[in-house]
Every structure is written in structure tokens, then in C-alpha cells.
Structure 1
């Protein structure tokens, strides 16, 4: 009996211990699953926490989520998560395609018949006639050259890679990601590392990391922001020499690192947009940021990237540090207590402004929006490179048959900009004006200092020939435009509009200028002109031949001239040369229209007078077609 009792006790104790072990194992498994789930979704957890109104302000939450994300990245869980997402998307796409009959049509049974002469089966198959696309007839225009080769229409941007330091890691990065992903079919991949830059590759090597990211993501556009953490000494390329901050050697090394970094981002042919550093609370730090922006802008031009300045977006109208901001009916601080990072409200404001500058050039659309801005490119033999331009079309011009054709206006940008300038500053205005006046608006690329002339010194700077012999024929061949065309521009572009119209009066119905440089000698950028034409002392004739005032003097009185309209701000430094142009036209009794109103040599004035210029040009185009 004692033995049986003892055995029963042992059995009961073993069953209890087994239950305890099973409970512990279940708890341990549940605990491990929770840890795995937290690390696996660390990125989404951090994004949700930063966007939260209460949790996003807690430094403890920011540090904890940042630590979880770094642990997840170090053990490779984030890479696993992206791979699983890619496989799931691929499987979903393949399943969708299998269900579509147009991709995998059902096989039809083959009919067989016997011929009377030969006793063997003969198969007869229906041959489907493919619809032949008939190219619309292009109206012939006098004086147009053959269109250039390599024309292509660029697709809207879908994959965007966003990288940077703590600003991209915190509010600005999350808000910019949210803002860009609000557009149709846009996916943003973001990576921000706190306290990093290009100065300390021993701490975090961005050069090798960006190669890995480009290989995995394959972005169409990469947006980057660096500089605040690079105010420190550097080491030389061979890492044997110590370079002090702010020296000439430091600037060369920092420039080299940015060039190398941008070239890595463009390894697969994607575009690069470099965000400039904003103004800081400390004057000493702001001074360094100005130097960094200068170096980064120079490196971007070397590689072919686009530099988007944030200085005036984050500053007061005078370029000073902005303390408070009002956005979406809310008023609050622009920056955090450190005077560097943006608050949640400030990040929303900055993200909206950045997206506003990018929406035209990246062809971003809302969900139900009809695309009316198109980017085209071709291979220019006069510039020996690929060039791009934007076209704004009215809604009636979207028919692929091109039965309806519209007059075209060429809008030239000023010095220091490129074909993106008008879309960054007046995208919504150009869409509205194109629809209102029923004209196609084209914004070509004039580089930062081309002056829209053929340089006898630089063989790759034949911009007048590029515009007349390549751009206009390309637009006429591939866009729904008529032979009626006009040209306009601001500052350097105003100079280009007048000189091209005066040199080719039969090509343009009308020309207008906003704060235009009517004589090259009156420009404040004589160094850039010297690189194109040579010294003014040695080659004074070249400078005169490319000035609008000289061309007016040389034009015969009975010769044909396009209609002319030019305006300038009352406080613009170029008002004197524009007044001189007005007196010259009056003296020679040439019809023109002149306007001088309140304003300076800035975008505020140009966006104000743009509707009036386009309205006048559209009126001249309508009257010429009748």
C-alpha cells in the first residue's frame, strides 16, 4: 500500500511539473514572439510614435524606438521584412496577371480539313491584324530644322529613396515621407541615422551604405540632406593626414566626398536631389551652413544632381532665423530648443514646401488628378548631352490623336537656375494659365549661365542653336502645337527671349521680358559672360552682337519685327537699361508695350507679372492666327 501511495505521489508530482514546464515554455515562446514582432516592425512602430501628438514629443520614446530600429537593422530583420514584402507583392502581381485573359489568352482549337488532292491535314489559323498606329500629320512650318534624335517622354516618379542624418530620422523625414506618399503610386524608402554625416566614416560609412541601398531599392530619385553634423575636422583620402575645419584642404576633401557620394547615388541612372541646409539659430552655425551649401551645390553641379535650397523656405523674408510659424490654422514654434531640428508643425510646413517644389519636375499626381505636366528629353548634338524640358498643356490637348493643336509659349528661366525653376516657383500658376489661355507652355533648359547664345569659346555651350534648331522642332514634332509661337523669360531669360526673337523674327509672333538684361554690359554677372564670349576689352563686338539694344539699332526700319512687351520693377537694378531700351524703341518708332510697377529683382515680382505677360502673349498669338 505504501508503495502504491508513493507511486501515485510521484505520478502526480511529475504531472504538475510537466504542466509547469509547458506553461513556462508557452510563456517563453510568447515572450520571444513579442520581441520578434517588436523588432520586425520597429520601423512602423517608430514612424507611428513620431507622428503621434503626445508620444512624438517624448525624448524617451524617440530614444527607445531609435534603439529598437538600430537593433533590428543590425541583426538583419529590416532586410528580411523588405524581402518578404517584395515577395508578397511579386506573388500578388503574378496571381493578378494569371487571372487576366489579355495576358494569358485561352488557346483556341485548331480546325483541320482534308484537301482533295493531298490526303493530309492542313491547319488553318486566323491571323489577327494588329492595329497600326497612324502618326498624326504634323503641319509644315517654314524655317524648321529636322527634330533631334533620342526623343523620349519620361515616366512619372514612383520609387523615392530618402536618406540623411537626424533631420531625416526625426519629424522632417517622417512628414516628408508622408507628404510624398500621398501622391498616386509613390513609394518612399527612408533611412535616417542620428549624429551621422560624411565627416566620420569610421562611425557610420554612408559611402558603402548608399551603394547597398541603391542596389536594393533601385530608386528613380534619391533625396538627401547632410551637413549639420559635419562641422568637424576630416582625414585625408589615405587617412594619414589630419585636416583642420574650414581650411582650403578641408573644403577640397569635403567636396570630394560629396561628389563620390552623389555618384554612388546615381550608379543605376537615377536622379539625385540634394536639399540645402536651412538657416540656424546660432549665427556661427549658420555661417558654416552657408559654406556647406556652397560646397554641396558645386558638387551637385559637377555630378549632374539638382540642388534644392531650403534657406529661404525656413527663414524670414530677410533671410533671418524664423522662430514661429503658422500652418494649417495652427501657430507654433518652427524649431526645437536646439535651434536646429524642426518641430512637428515646422516639419509639416517644410515638407509641404519641399513637395510643392518637386511636384512639377517629378510629375506627381493626386489620386484622381489628370496629368497635364509632361517631361520630355532628347540627345542634343549642340550641347553634347541629354537635355530635358517640361510642357504644360490644356485639358483639350491631352488627346493622343493630336487633332486639336494649340499655340506654344517658350518660357526661359534666369541665371543660376535650370528647366526646373518655373515649376518650382509657379507650377499651379502655369497649369491655370495654360488652361485659361489655351496655350502649351514649354520651360526649356538654359543652364545656370548660358545666356542663350552660341559661345565661340565653349563648344558644348551652343544654346541658341539648341533652342532654334533642336528644341522647337522637337516640340513641334511630338506635341500638339501650331506654327504660332511666342517666347518670354526673366532676367537672363528676358535677354534670351528678346535676342532670339530679334535674330529670328519670322520664328516668333511675339516676345516679352521680365526684368530682362537688355545689354550684356549692364549685367551684374560679367564673369559668367566672360567665360562664354571672352573679355569685353578684347572682344567688344561679341558683347554688342548679343545685346538687344544693339540688335534694335542694327535692324532695318522696314524689316519685320515680332511684337515686343517688357516690364521691370521700380526698385530693380536693371530698370535703367530697360528705360534706355524704351527710349530707343520710341526713337525708332517701333511698336512696343512697357510696364514699370512696384517690385524688385526677385521671384515675388516675376510671379506677380507672369499672368499679365502670358495674357498679352496669348492675345498676340490669337490675333496672328486669324
Structure 2
């Protein structure tokens, strides 16, 4: 799988240096964010806490770029043998939240949820999102690192999560991992902050991957030392993962989802990293 980060040297450096220069205020159009109704089929007892029953099978929809795609492909062989879990591929590489004019993740996520009616939606996206936010209908571009970018990006994240929650699904948003090149790592940190605030505000669980992809000093970690071996976790591009790496992150995902959504835990089970 090819690295999705742009390698146009000077353009890339200018974009990320501009991000580091700080945020400034712009007047931007607001994207519509629908209210989040109770999930279909859920019951609310007197205490107001929504309860859900364990389904006979959990349908898990993956949405996102090549990060989510890589996880889906790494899990697919083993998941085929599970009768209590079906994983659905809603991913597309080389896409992102910023370029809705190229691939509209707000509309796509809504259509996928309506078509598949999943119990759980997992979002993992952002490997291309250091690019400007584009609103082609208004002929507007908002550079990465600006206040306008952060506002619009957060609204789109909230809309994507809202599509899942309004469709009756649980939602988990995976944060971006640490990355080998310091400029990319800095950009990923900024995106993580926006994603976390927006995703949690819209009703998703935000699951960071930064610590799991960093060493004790917080540096990019390409491999992990296990009891009897050292396993390579990251791909050569310093952005994506090996098969082992994807399954390691998936193990964290399944554990976290099972803890936060106990009605899904019996069907999710555990993920082997082998």
C-alpha cells in the first residue's frame, strides 16, 4: 500500500510550517449538524440510561482511508470464521475529510449506515487531511492549521459520527498514530485534537493510538519487543502498519469497544495479533 502523504517537498513544508504558525480567526459558513436522537430499538428505563440487548451477531462497519482499509484487510481472513461478527468494508484509500468535493465522507457514511444498519461503526481517517479544507460550491479553501479549518473539519467529523449514531449504531473514532517524520507527527497531533473534541461531542468513543505507537520517550516506534521476538509494527512509509501492526491496533479497538459497549462484547471477542 502506497504512502498517502504528499511528497511534494516545498509545498508540504509550507503547509505544515503554516500550521505551526498558529490559528487565526476567519468567518466561515457553518455546516449543518443534526441533533442525535435515541438509537432505534433502545429502551430507556426510569433512570434515563439507555439499555441495549446483545444481538446474535454484530455487524461492524469500517469507514475511512487506507488506515481503516488496512485494518479491515488484516482482519478479514480471521473474521470470516466468526459467526457472531461480520465486518463490512466501507473504506477507500486516498480519501479524507477535507476534500468533500472529491469524496464526500459525510454523504458516504450516511449511505453506508442506511444500507448496512451496523451495530458498530469504526472511523479511522486523516492520513491525507493536512491538505486545505475545500468548499468547492463556495469556491473557498481554508489552509490546514487555521481556525476556519479546525471549525469546518470538526463539523464534518461530527456529521460523520452523527450519521452512525442516528442510524442506531455505536461509534468509535480511532485517533491518528505517531508518525516517523516529525512534520507529519505534528500535523497528526493537531488533527487528533480536532477529531477527539468533535467525535466525542457527537456521541462517539475516541480511542487514541498515539501511545500504542510511541516508545517510552514518546518517539515514533517502528517495532515492538515481545517476549520471544521483535515484531515490526509500521510500514516502510512511516505512516501505515504491517499486518501485525494493524491487528495490534485492532486488539486495542475490540477490547475498548467491548468495555464501553458491553452488549457487543460477547460477539466481538478478542483479536489475535498473530
Aligned-pair CA distance for 1:306: 1.1
Equivalent residue for 1:333?
232
Q: Aligned to 1:202, what secondary structure does the other structure show? A: coil
> What is the SS of the residue equivalent to 1:365?
helix
1:316–1:322 CA contact under 8 A, matched in 2: yes
Which of 60, 66, 69 is matched with 1:169 structurally?
69
What residue is the counterpart of 2:59 in the other structure? 159
Within the alignment, does 1:148 sit opposite 2:46 as a pair?
Answer: yes
Summarize deviations over 1:532-573 as a string: whole Å, max 9, x none. Answer: xxxxxxxxxxxxxxxxxxxxxxxxxxxxxxxxxxxxxxxxxx
Of residues 195, 216, 231 in structure 2, which corresponds to 1:296?
Answer: 195
Between the aligned partners of 2:230 and 2:182, the Cα distance in structure 1 is 25
Q: How far apart are residue 204 of structure 1 and its match? A: 1.7
Q: Please report how far the alpha carbon of residue 341 of structure 1 lies from its aligned counterpart in structure 2 after TM superposition.
A: 0.5
Q: Name the counterpart of 1:324.
A: 223
1:273 aligns with 2:205: no
Pick 1 or 2: higher relative contact order, CA cutoff 8 A, min separation 6: 2
Alignment of 1:139-218 (within 5 A): 148-149=46-47, 153-156=51-54, 158-170=58-70, 172-177=71-76, 185-218=84-117
How far is the alpha carbon of 1:160 from its aligned partner? 1.4
Of 159, 162, 168, 1:260 maps to 159
- Tell me the secondary structure at the aligned position of residue 201 of structure 1: coil
Residue deviations 1:388-444 (CA, integer Å, cap 9, x gap): xxxxxxxxxxxxxxxxxxxxxxxxxxxxxxxxxxxxxxxxxxxxxxxxxxxxxxxxx
> CA offset at residue 267 of structure 1?
2.6
Count of paired positions: 223
Structure 2 unaligned residues grouped into runs of 5+: 3-44, 270-274
Q: TM-score, structure 2 length as denominator?
A: 0.72
| Counterpart selection for 1:282 from 158, 162, 181 | 181
Judge which range, 190-199 or 347-356, deviates more: 347-356
Instruction: Please show how residues 131-142 of structure 1 align to structure 2 within 5 Å.
Output: none
Q: Which residue of 1 aligns with 2:146?
A: 247
1:2-17 equivalences under 5 Å are: none
Q: Let me know the Cα RMSD of the aligned residues.
A: 2.7
Of 203, 216, 224, the match for 2:123:
224
User: Which is greater in Rg?
Assistant: 1
Distance 1:239 1:154, change over 3 A: same
Equivalent residues of 1:196, 1:229 under 8 A apart:
yes
Instruction: Point out the structure with the larger helix share.
Output: 1
Q: TM-score, normalised by structure 1?
A: 0.33
Decide whether aligned partners of structure 1 residues 327 and 167 sit closer, same or farther in structure 2, where only a CA change above 3 A counts. farther
- Asked if structure 1 preserves the Cα contact closer than 8 Å seen for 2:63 and 2:122, the reply is yes
